[in-house]
Structure 1
Amino acid sequence: MSLVTLTTLPMLCFANTPMDASGKARQGQGAVTTVTGPAGSIMPVGYAESVAAFAYVWGWPLVNMHNRQQVFTKVPKQLLLAGVMPAAPINHLTMLTDYVSPQMRDVAHPNQDVVYGFGILDLAKSPVIVQVPNFKNRFWTMMVEDQRTDSLAQLGSMHGTQSGFYMIVGPDWQGDKPAGVTNIFRSSTNLAVVAPRVFMQDTPEDRIAVQEPIAQIAVYPFADFDGTMKSTDWKSLPHVPDPNAGKTAGEKAWVKPETFFTDAQLGAVLKEVPPLAGEEALYQQFGELLKQAKAHPEIQQAITKVAQDVEKNVLPDLFRLENIGKRIAHGWAKPMNNGRFGTDYLTRLEVAKSNIFTNDYLETNYLYQYNDQNGQRINGNYEYTLTFAKGQTPPVVKNGFWSLTMYDHNHFFHQNEINRYSVGTKNKSLKYNADGSLTIYIQNQCPSGDKVSNWLPAPKDDIAMTIRAYAPAEALLNNTWQPPAVVKVE
């Protein structure tokens, strides 16, 4: 069989070995075939719309990450945006010093069990050093994810990570491990994010104690590495006004459908993010779509309308936490591959839309709830209980922790009179029942008597709740442990 090289068309080459009915290769018939890509044929608007719909759900998380990085390129120094969101120049990091504020609207679905930090990387500019202090017996994890929001590093107490210096490099970096660097982690994309989480008990004493280790958390370009531990007084950072603060009750809009199908958005992602195995043809189709849209205004107009329609009519269902992952006991939903999505485009988009920057599945399990035991949407105008049987709180390994967090219908905190947004391991005042069980009281009004210590305040509206288990035990990972029902009080 002769091969014709079509130099004007994108193409994929692969070994094509014919098989017989039993699956065995037919001898002597193996050949290399050329699979060509789009040939620039006339593209009807209807076809363009079909391709565009999938391109939007495929590319939404990646464009989201691209746009976050673009914002951070304008950050001049380490600071707190609107006093609540840690921001830093590219290839650096900023830490909070307490739980995240209820006013923060940059990242949906935060928790109030850890002290967060955040930084965005451009590894094409430089590898970066991640400085890890001595956390002693405190739980911590350092989430590092690529542009696809897939985890790429194992840094944390559950991994036995020692104090020292670790390096994050991009896909094209070559070289030997520098002296003084403990380990190197490679990102599949030059864009990456780093988000430390350091457990803090809800006590005045631990708010003081946690400051020492978090002061030595750092991320910086490799050129600044000298082998010595750097320290930062995070409490001294400037608070910079956010012109977008208070404009939305939900997360800031990081993806705009009106500009999605442009070279600056989807086109940039196709260049920034290398295709996974088997995605080459997708990239060709999406690239041809953008090319045809630039040449034909009617196509550009049509696919922009598709983006707007998908954003309005498809993504709201993907935003709902109850639709993420698999349904387990009592209406709880649980993703089984957070931080390791690969080509699971559905779950990646669901998580990116509803609660981006989840930890790797082995590091944190997330269980989401929208409904009571009767399948009715939970709402703060009613009262509920959640009771863990004796010894049946979410199982975690040594130094791990669990929590139950309350959210409004936008997946953010709603201000309440006692400033409590989660309960769990961090709360030393929880009271157990006589039989050893633990009951959480979920309601808007303060309960009577000794129930206050177990009260999880709820806004008077539709609500959502999440169980988190940091350093989940095997019973959680294999789903033999099941969460209890949310019971409506009649």
Structure 2
Amino acid sequence: MSAPKGEPASTSQVTQPQTAADIAGIPPGTVMTPGFVETAGRMIYVWGWPLVNHYNRSLAMAGVPEPGRNGGVLPVAPPGSISMLTDYIQADQKFVTCPNQDTVYGAGYQHLDTQPVVIQVPDFGDRFFVYQMADSRTESFCSIGQQYGTKPGFYMLVGPNWKGETPKGINAVCRASTDLVAVLPRIFMDDTPQDRAAIRPLVNQVVLYPLDQFDGTMKTKDWAKTPVFPAPKTEGQGEMKFVVPEKFFDELPTVLKGVPPLPGEEAIYATAHALLEAAGRDPSIKEQLTRIAVATEQEVIAPLFDFRNNGRPVGNGWTSPSNGARWGFDYLSRTASAKSNIYDNAPNETRYIYTDVDSSGTRLTGAGGGAYTVTFPKGQTPPVKGFWSLTLYNKHHLFEPNALNRFGVGTKNKDLKYGADGSLTLYVQHASPGPERESNWLPAPEEEFSLYIRAYWPDAPITEGRWTPPAVTRPH
């Protein structure tokens, strides 16, 4: 607004907007009450949990000497490479919860500022594939897959601070927002011997290597011949523990250095640094932060493992996050998925829909002869351009070994039996439903379990919320 006519313009009330660099945090040495430490410490723990989880998973792979398989079942590789399986992931692994048995997996963690890498995409034809690139926030940052019309060839992955030349022959460059990323290819495979044979030469061309090894030629590796390393030691029956509350605030400074704040996160970082500074000079604050971490793990993080506390209701007792790998400032959903089933694909790539309960709201269990049916009416299987599956997980969100070695059913299965009316009924129970129904049987443990729908390349009825998953019913 201009000054009144005849009066000089005054600048005494004019202030310039602050920039991020101008915004100071709590000055070092400021007294912090226990109540403030409690409030801020809990928030920082919930916010930072996925970052510490991702970081420690990378350390668990960093020591392997070359691409291989932990325990013969889990792909592991040092930075500058990935490891690929040649079949579905098997039941006897505890490195990651909620794996699928629809795709052939690959995995590897990279430090892209230090070592940019090239990843190869073979000609998959009409076979579904998607390469997930997850940064330190578990956000996807690169679009490589069938739904993107990705062309065969070479793709370069670089870190936020990398400055270099892109060599000729590179189809595209994907820049991460963090140095540390996870690379997780997924390639669809039918559950048939014929497709297992057909996919092998394609998988052998899914290779990742440092940029300085790029020469414009498609490299191959026989992934069936990679070494087997001893399976890592685990405690208990669940997933390996990648966030140890007692160590969280000791590990957080290293993690923060590798993950710059998003615009708008400066206050969170300033508060975290202030807490860490205070803990460094006052042992009582350090002890309090450790107690806070332990309590928050039990009271806040642990309940997020249950699928009914993850995402939003989508009907019939099922829930689903609509923003997987696109978390932004949704720290609740980001942490819930990191706790229950880390490394979601982006929502346009895969929609994850899950339930812990039947149609009456009762916890799913195979105890006492518990038997359930899931019936998709004619034409009402999950609407996808890719494929779909229904997978069963035990109470630890891992596969439960069974005589059929079957943990999920869906598009991959060629022997599913449909009813006379065109409907598809799946039988979820511990005991066999009988020879005539066994092709549609999803074996359950004699204890609590969860069900999990994956809709790969979901169609509009799913992405727009117009498709409702079927009820899980318990016949009387």
Report the TM-score when normalising by structure 1: 0.92
Distance 1:65 1:243, change over 3 A: closer
C-alpha displacement of 1:488: 0.6
Q: Quick one: distance in 1 between partners of 2:397 and 2:427?
A: 20
The reply to whether residue 377 of structure 1 matches residue 366 of structure 2 is no
**How do 1:121-136 residues align onto structure 2 when only pairs under 5 Å count?**
121-136=110-125
Among 107, 112, 120, the alignment partner of 1:118 is 107
Aligned partner of residue 141 in structure 1, secondary structure: strand
Aligned to 1:62: 51
C-alpha displacement of 1:39: 1.5
**How do 1:314-333 residues align onto structure 2 when only pairs under 5 Å count?**
314-333=300-319
- Give RMSD over aligned pairs: 1.5
Q: Quick one: distance in 2 between partners of 1:298 and 1:29?
A: 44
Distance 1:27 1:487, change over 3 A: farther
- Residue 164 of structure 1 aligns with an amino acid whose one-letter code is G
C-alpha displacement of 1:28: 8.9
- Residue 402 of structure 1 aligns with an amino acid whose one-letter code is W
Aligned partner of residue 427 in structure 2, secondary structure: strand
Q: Quick one: distance in 1 between partners of 2:35 and 2:12?
A: 43
Among 203, 206, 210, the alignment partner of 2:199 is 210
C-alpha displacement of 1:73: 2.2
Among 170, 183, 205, the alignment partner of 1:181 is 170
Aligned partner of residue 425 in structure 2, secondary structure: strand
TM-superposition CA deviations, 1:423-472 (whole Å, max 9, x none): 00000000000000100001000011311110010001111010001010
Aligned to 2:126: 137
Aligned to 1:12: none
Q: Quick one: distance in 2 between partners of 1:354 and 1:461?
A: 18
Aligned partner of residue 130 in structure 1, secondary structure: strand
- Residue 78 of structure 1 aligns with an amino acid whose one-letter code is P
Among 299, 302, 320, the alignment partner of 2:285 is 299
TM-superposition CA deviations, 1:387-414 (whole Å, max 9, x none): 00100000011xx100000000110000
C-alpha displacement of 1:178: 1.8
The reply to whether residue 416 of structure 1 matches residue 416 of structure 2 is no
Distance 1:106 1:243, change over 3 A: closer
Among 243, 249, 264, the alignment partner of 1:261 is 249
TM-superposition CA deviations, 1:351-406 (whole Å, max 9, x none): 00000011111000000111111010111120000000100000011xx1000000
Among 76, 86, 93, the alignment partner of 2:75 is 86
C-alpha displacement of 1:45: 2.5
Q: Quick one: distance in 2 between partners of 1:187 and 1:207?
A: 33
Aligned partner of residue 182 in structure 1, secondary structure: strand
Aligned to 2:425: 439
CA contact (8 A) 1:409 1:464 kept: yes
C-alpha displacement of 1:243: 4.1
CA contact (8 A) 1:45 1:298 kept: no
CA contact (8 A) 1:177 1:183 kept: no
Q: Quick one: distance in 1 between partners of 2:458 and 2:60?
A: 34
Matched length:
461
Q: Quick one: distance in 2 between partners of 1:406 and 1:363?
A: 21
Q: Quick one: distance in 2 between partners of 1:384 and 1:181?
A: 51
Among 376, 383, 386, the alignment partner of 1:388 is 376
C-alpha displacement of 1:182: 0.2
Q: Quick one: distance in 2 between partners of 1:27 and 1:151?
A: 46
Q: Quick one: distance in 1 between partners of 2:355 and 2:442?
A: 14
Q: Quick one: distance in 1 between partners of 2:419 and 2:73?
A: 37
Aligned partner of residue 469 in structure 2, secondary structure: coil
Q: Quick one: distance in 2 between partners of 1:354 and 1:310?
A: 16
Structure 2: gaps (5+ residues):
2-9
- Residue 383 of structure 2 aligns with an amino acid whose one-letter code is P
- Residue 318 of structure 1 aligns with an amino acid whose one-letter code is L
TM-superposition CA deviations, 1:279-315 (whole Å, max 9, x none): 1111111001011101111110011000001111211
Report the TM-score when normalising by structure 2: 0.95
- Residue 40 of structure 2 aligns with an amino acid whose one-letter code is V
- Residue 240 of structure 1 aligns with an amino acid whose one-letter code is F
Distance 1:166 1:449, change over 3 A: same
C-alpha displacement of 1:325: 1.1
Task: Indicate the percent of aligned positions where both proteins have the same amino acid.
Answer: 45
C-alpha displacement of 1:79: 1.1
C-alpha displacement of 1:30: 4.3
